[in-house]
A and B are shown apart, each in its own frame.
Chain A
Amino acid sequence: MTRRLLMLALLLLTSLGFCACKKQPGAVAAQPLRNSYDSEVDWNDSTRVIPLSYQAAQGKRIFYQYCVWCHADATPAGPSNRSNLNPMPPLANDGAVLNSLSDDFLRNTIMLGGSAVGKSALMPPWGQTLKHDDIEAVITFYRAIAQPPYESPARSGPNLR
């Protein structure tokens, strides 16, 4: 009897040990900014910080070098050139204007300039200055900072306007 009990105990122990092999992965604390490559303060609400992916962060860099002068109200050098222009260029975070435009349309406008897509020639073509990846990055950045926020169309085909 004792032997049988011993066996049972052994069996139990083995199974217990078996259970112990499984480990619980620890919970990773949610820290959105610590887990983003870069961030941008919301232009309309300085208390809100938008996390940026690698691609959007590269777009931010390109934007602040080339685009900020006409597509923002505050620039690194002070006053913006935006108010000098007629028609006035849209702000880069103006979701009301940009959200309805497809990626393809934005890409074409940036690459070929305003006159190629029936907009003002004040917007120069950047296709020979910026690399393809740079332009994609800028579009990603625009989408990331858009107010109201941008929602990507689910699996839509090319939407050339």
Chain B
Amino acid sequence: MPVERMGRVSRGLRLAFALSSVIFLAVLAISPVKDLRREWKRYKRDYIRFAQTRPDTKRLLADYRPDIDQIWLPEMGVVDRCTTCHQGISQPSLAGASVPQPFRAHPPIPHRVQEWGCVVCHRGQGPATEVAEAHETTLAWEQPILPLHFIQGTCGSCHRDDLSETPQLNRGRQLIDQLNCAGCHRLQGIDRAVMLGPDLTNIGTKVTRAWIYKWLKEPRTIADADGNVSVNGVETGEETRMPKFRLTEPELRALSAYLSTQHATPIEAVKFDPRVIATWSKRPDVVDQGEIRFRQMFCSTCHSLAVTRAGETKLVGGDIGPELTKVGSKVKPEWLPAWLRDPQAYLPHSKMPRYGWSDEDLFKVTQYIQAKLTDSDLLNDVPQLGAPTADEIKTGKRLFFDKGCASCHLVEGLGTQKDFGPDLSGLGAKNVSQLEFGTSTIPRNLISYIQAKITDPLSVNPAARMPQYNLPPTDLDAVTTALLAMTGTPATSGIEKLIVPKHQPEFHPVGEFGKVYERYKCYVCHQFNGFGGTLAPDLSYEGSRTSRAWLVDFLKNPQTLRPTLILRMPQFNMSDHEASVIADYFEMVLQHPDVNSASFERSEFTPQMAVLGKELYEIKYQCQACHTVGASGGYVGPSLNNAGNWLTPAWIEAWLRNPQSLVPGTIEPHRAFTDVEVKALTAYLLTLRGAPGAGVSHASAGGQE
């Protein structure tokens, strides 16, 4: 290159430099421009403009910052930037559907949104700052926002105890417990029960091989013309506790052969008094009499029967025990009376009370069940099985384990099989990439996965051993919600102290009362100090509430319940001794600390007070809206016709002052009575002494149906 040309730049090169500088500048500008155009900044700017259209602009913009807003919950491992765009989330004036999203205020909930943020409940991606990434599933972010319909699932991650605000979650947990999911799966907050499915040690003494075959093939025996059963208008599989296993013909033969040979202890046939048989077996009305007795004993409190009206089949009755519509075609004739007389001799964990039967009643009811609760076509489609062969029995025993039967059912000589299915205690926190969808075409998210797995396990995994459950849609959603709540052991120890643990009280008294309590299974329907069923009133403070004489009378003859209740207390044919053991125990132990019956003398209530009380009852407070006295009044609360004999004065007074302090959640309104009014109303109620056993109402005084 000549010297004079050195340092001189050609035009072309200069142009190239100029162009590249421009490009360089432009490239440099990309970053700030991109930053300015970020989605969240647009929402920030929009919010200012929106706030200026509102009358309370100043308040709406008081906390405004142009940056990303963030809520950090270190103990939960949550970074939540949702309030960056959802800026009006805790502004009460922005409530209602007329306010455009994302500025609308959150509807009132028990938690403060400014403290907890959004993702704790709604899921989604807290740290994301773009609409799609925050709300939906993208490649990098796997947790989409939970549909609102399932949001109670996240409540359950921390609240392991049931909340009244989350009925769907509570129902789901109850179903998971009832359906014995814990037999095969490890679950969070639901323990393995002592008895899952029935003990099959003696199943050969109870049912025939043909019936076992039928049951294993199709565990639904009731169907209307369309093959459906509905309860309260909702289609259901009756006996949902036993799911449907997809068994082949040889498997059905083998399992039915194996099970029908299970008779470890022979049953002791009931020896009826020959005079009873002689009298009753000839009477044409024995079945009708048996039916009457069946009804009088309130078997339907726990057991349901199918009723077909206008082509629609409905189950009527309780669901504590199994449905009994065709039980007469199921069980062997010699087994039935032995079971009824002493259920625990066959099944030690049974919830069935041991009734005090007379031979006559037992004979009549057995005759009724075997004559009427039958279906002659039940076993029609079962092939001729013949006697079980040694080969079939051997295969059956192997299948009993391979199919997971041993997870729920006990057979003599075989231990229970635990953790047969996968551990589900952390299912609710699973990412989509951790789930196996197979060839299924369902949407790729956790909710559709769970629902497919329950309703049709083969659709997501052709090798699934999981049986098929036939749940109505509402129950399916409830179970899904409860499974979503099982997010496993918290990753950080700090979260442990935030978790509200499940409260599981137990109440098992000992001594004489303990025996009667176990015999009649009082706790299956009644609550005692937080333990027991919710079907019947809470008896924790029954000793304070009722007078002893009334209680003994009621236990002996509990037919006197209010007319609107369908579920009633069975008549157990209790002996005088048993009734007095119960009454003594109630009087001594089941006392409310604030109700002191010793401080009352019935004589302190004068007739003048009762006159005033009657006026208050009828005119000022109009208690007849809910209670019946004489023949008129409402039937929301119990009838008060026998209140004077039934209730203690101390209880009436304490109840009038504050009903919820005695029975939390009772629907009797808490009213502001003066002392004089309380005394007057008590005096009046004590004068109400209808004949015992006539129109006396007891149930739901505790506020629970």
Contact = CB atoms under 8 A, between A and B. Distances in A.
Interface of A: 3-4, 7, 10-11, 14, 18, 21, 23-26, 28, 31, 33-38, 53-55, 58, 61, 65-66, 69-70, 76-79, 81, 84-85, 120-126, 128-129, 133, 136, 152
Interface of B: 12, 15-16, 19-20, 23, 26-27, 30, 34, 96, 107-109, 130-132, 135-136, 147-149, 151-152, 164-165, 167-168, 564-566, 619-622, 625-626, 633-636, 660, 665, 667, 669-672, 705
Nearest to B624: A122
Mostly, the A contact residues are loop
A128 B634 contact: no
B633 A84 contact: yes
A128 B672 contact: yes
A53 B104 CA distance: 14
Contact of B625 (A34, A85, A136): A85
B677 to A, nearest CB: 14
Contacts, number: 111
B136 A55 contact: no
Contacts of A123: 625
B667 A65 contact: yes
Given A38-B168, A54-B109, A124 B26 contact: no
A57 B635 CA distance: 26
Given A61-B167, A84-B635, A124 B564 contact: no
B147 A34 contact: yes
A152 to B, nearest CB: 8
Given A7-B19, A26-B132, A61-B164, A81 B148 contact: no
A37 B564 CA distance: 32
Given A23-B130, A124-B625, 12 more contacts: A14-B23, A23-B132, A24-B132, A25-B135, A28-B135, A35-B148, A36-B148, A77-B565, A84-B633, A84-B634, A121-B622, A125-B669
17 contacts: A3-B16, A4-B19, A10-B23, A21-B34, A23-B132, A26-B132, A31-B147, A36-B148, A37-B152, A38-B167, A58-B165, A70-B625, A77-B564, A84-B633, A84-B634, A84-B635, A124-B625
Contact of A11 (B12, B23, B148): B23
B620 A121 contact: yes
B634 A81 contact: yes
Nearest to B628: A84
Given A3-B16, A129-B669, A70 B636 contact: yes
Contacts of A66: 667
A38 B107 CA distance: 14
List of 9 A-B pairs having minimum Cβ-Cβ separation, nearest first: A122-B625, A128-B670, A69-B636, A124-B669, A121-B622, A25-B132, A81-B634, A34-B147, A129-B670
B165 A81 contact: no
Nearest to B147: A34
B564 A79 contact: yes
A14 B625 contact: no
Contacts of B660: 129
A26 B566 contact: no
Nearest to B20: A7
Contacts of A23: 130, 132
B149 A33 contact: yes
Contacts of A34: 147-149
B53 to A, nearest CB: 14
A133 B109 CA distance: 10
Contacts of B34: 18, 21
Nearest to A79: B564
Contacts of B131: 25
Contacts of A36: 148-149
Contacts of A81: 625-626, 634-636
A53 B705 CA distance: 27
Nearest to B19: A7
A100 to B, nearest CB: 20
B107 A54 contact: yes
A55 B107 contact: yes
A51 B30 CA distance: 46
B566 A121 contact: no
Contact of B148 (A37, A122, A126, A128): A37
A70 B625 CA distance: 9
B665 A65 contact: yes
Contacts of B633: 84
Contacts of A38: 167-168
Nearest to B37: A22
Contact of B27 (A14, A55, A69, A128): A14
B434 to A, nearest CB: 22
Given A33-B149, A78-B566, A133-B108, A128 B669 contact: yes
B133 to A, nearest CB: 9
Nearest to A66: B667
A128 B668 CA distance: 11
Nearest to A84: B634
